[in-house]
Amino acid sequence: MNYNFTPFPVLETARLTLRALNLDDAKAIFGLRTNKEVNEFIDRKTPRNLSEARAFIDRISTLAENSKGIFWVLESKSNHQLMGTIGLRNFEDEENYAEIGYEIDPIHQQKGFMSEAFKAVLNFGFKELELKTIEAFTHKDNDASIALLEQQKFTLHPERRDEGFENNRSYRKEA
């Protein structure tokens, strides 16, 4: 499959606009990606300054331009605030497969925003991209993430491992 994310597919839900990340989001992305609660179960390099946040935004933009991944910002329709992110990447053409990744600012957790975003992205992935499988890797102790995945009808695949991340577990959803 050859994915084309130009023009960038903006997705709408009742309370959210899922749009492309841009350099104006650098401060909010820096805050999100350096938040201790957000990173509690994520093993990643956190940006040290706004310049590194901008470099991350550039890398994400290049992924979409090269059809290697797509990354949306969850923006509130009511106040245009960046609340979190969600994306699809690591596409495998032979299996019509992608991984989903997501994060949301703790002040917006437990309010259904990520569920809304998830439904829109799953619909896009299965209908527009014709994916057969979407997989999420989440830390075995991240109860909120596991609950979200189970709510979205993802199933645990205990035999599957996230290489290099021994505490992560695989959850999959088939089209």
Q: Could you give the CA distance from residue 81 to residue 66 in angstroms, rounded to a whole number?
A: 27
Domain assignments of the chain as residue spans, ordered by start: 11-174
pLDDT in the model for residue 1: 66
The pLDDT of residue 69:
95
Q: Is the peptide bond prior to 106 cis by the omega test (within 30 degrees of 0)? A: no
Question: Hey, what are 87's tokens?
Answer: 């994306």
Q: Residue 163 has what pLDDT?
A: 86
* pLDDT at 52 (0 to 100): 96
- The conformation of residue 106, written as its DSSP 8-state character, comes to G
Strand partners, 74: 18, 84
3-state secondary structure 107-150: HHCCCCHHHHHHHHHHHHHHHHCCCCEEEEEEECCCHHHHHHHH
Neighbours of 14 (CB within 10 A): 7
Q: How far is CA 138 from CA 40, 58, 157, 171, in A?
A: 11, 25, 12, 8
> What angle do the packed helices 113-123 and 143-151 form, to 10 degrees?
50
Q: Which residues of the chain carry a pLDDT beneath 50? A: none
Q: Which CATH superfamily is domain 11-174 in?
A: Gcn5-related N-acetyltransferase (GNAT) (3.40.630.30)
* pLDDT reported for residue 44: 86
pLDDT of residue 58: 95
Taking CA 48 as the corner, what is the angle to CA 29 and CA 168, rounded to the nearest 5 degrees?
70
User: How many CA atoms lie less than 13 Å away from 165 in the CB half-sphere?
Assistant: 16
